[in-house]
Structure 1
């Protein structure tokens, strides 16, 4: 298998997504991508502003901002808006429940997305769980890869939608099934249709057997980009032919796999 720059630069991916809980996001500087999306994993894992500033001096940086969370709420507590360094762009999301308090989870999403886009019209808008609201709000639609993504993209484009669409996908550059399941088996297993199909208390990593392994073997290919470089490149190409403008890969086995 090709490694380093030879591998990831041939996949057709347009950007890298990094999780600050897992790595120093400055590791994006060692990848061949000009755009880096920084995921949100709770305020305690926000990168330092100086780190973002350093990264933004060399890359296009997009920071995920949960608009219902204190500090990021464009209609209320917005103390973290001015903390974001100049030059760092935004990705507005409703916010994962795991990173929100009960009070924050009760806040309405639609008015906050709209208010956020008024302040930062070049922001991307995460669609997970709020697809219709995100589409109504406008901005670049930031889709999470699923089994229906290609069909959804074609449907949007066939209706005349001409806005920008970016697709986020965990990515594993190997065709070793055990390695794939260790990297994204649990992730795929948490998707609702997959969880319903899995046997009760099924193992979701390389130890999976029988029906669980069969279900997961399909699911990881629905919800992630996996396989050798040629396979990933083919899937990325299919997404773009269906209507995606950008495909953002999250290195599920560690940022080193995307490094030059």
Structure 2
């Protein structure tokens, strides 16, 4: 199982899992107090029994897109009723890839407001709806980026005293090829990185020259990479800037966290 030593050394407060990639019930072995489960479509939604069992071991937060049928507080919210009371929620607008064309057209702001009335302790995902999310005053759940430290300091300086949880793909190695295999494609999708990459460049371990330099630099902006001790320096810096919680997504799978 994952060792307390490895996770603690890396300074991760929570682990995020993608149910399309792994059996989330395995998270019961994770030595963390908080588990976040990403939404990857209704077909990958963990069973109620699985969520209840996990919530007996840790605080569990399930990402739920407020525009999607089943989670829409202004429409079909039938899936919400099936969630165990012990499971918290991360309210998000929803990635278009997991929404129908009709769902993508639904307004986000009133749905976030309605969902928070029902679940005031929920986190709110900021991706693509930063201003709306901030207006809710709820715990902000945002992706690590090259501006995260600056943005967090600005928020705290402006008087925002709400919670902030920062999500980052995490690669517990300093091997450049393994880093690129794990997060090369991910960082290449960030707009500043895409604009800096040479046209048609590889984004995995086969990347060379300018592309490799850009990708490896971006990996330190948009992900947590390095040995456990090096990652700890990065998570400490994020918390020092103003985050309350650092959530790591094991971009290589759980294997690198094993002792």
How far off its partner does 1:206 sit?
Answer: 0.3
Provide the rounded CA distance (Å) in 1 between the counterparts of 2:49 and 2:160: 38
Question: Mind listing any 5+ residue stretches in structure 1 that lack a counterpart?
Answer: none
Question: Mind listing any 5+ residue stretches in structure 2 that lack a counterpart?
Answer: none
- How many residue pairs align between the two structures? 258
Provide the rounded CA distance (Å) in 2 between the counterparts of 1:46 and 1:202: 35
Provide the rounded CA distance (Å) in 1 between the counterparts of 2:59 and 2:97: 28
SS of the aligned residue for 1:166 comes to strand
SS of the aligned residue for 2:220 comes to helix
Provide the rounded CA distance (Å) in 2 between the counterparts of 1:255 and 1:19: 11
Residue 12 of structure 2: aligned partner? 13
Normalised TM-score (structure 1): 0.97
Q: How big is the alpha-carbon RMSD for the aligned residues of Structure 1 and Structure 2?
A: 1.1
Provide the rounded CA distance (Å) in 1 between the counterparts of 2:210 and 2:169: 23
Provide the rounded CA distance (Å) in 2 between the counterparts of 1:113 and 1:167: 19
How far off its partner does 1:258 sit?
Answer: 3.2
How far off its partner does 1:125 sit?
Answer: 0.3
Normalised TM-score (structure 2): 0.97
How far off its partner does 1:259 sit?
Answer: 4.7
After TM superposition, the runs of 4+ consecutive aligned structure 1 residues lying more than 6 A away are none
Matches within 5 A, 1:171-182: 171-182=170-181
Residue 76 of structure 1: aligned partner? 75
Matches within 5 A, 1:1-260: 4-259=3-258
Provide the rounded CA distance (Å) in 2 between the counterparts of 1:4 and 1:81: 33
Asked if structure 2 preserves the Cα contact closer than 8 Å seen for 1:5 and 1:258, the reply is no
Provide the rounded CA distance (Å) in 1 between the counterparts of 2:49 and 2:229: 38
Provide the rounded CA distance (Å) in 1 between the counterparts of 2:208 and 2:191: 20
Asked if structure 2 preserves the Cα contact closer than 8 Å seen for 1:67 and 1:92, the reply is yes
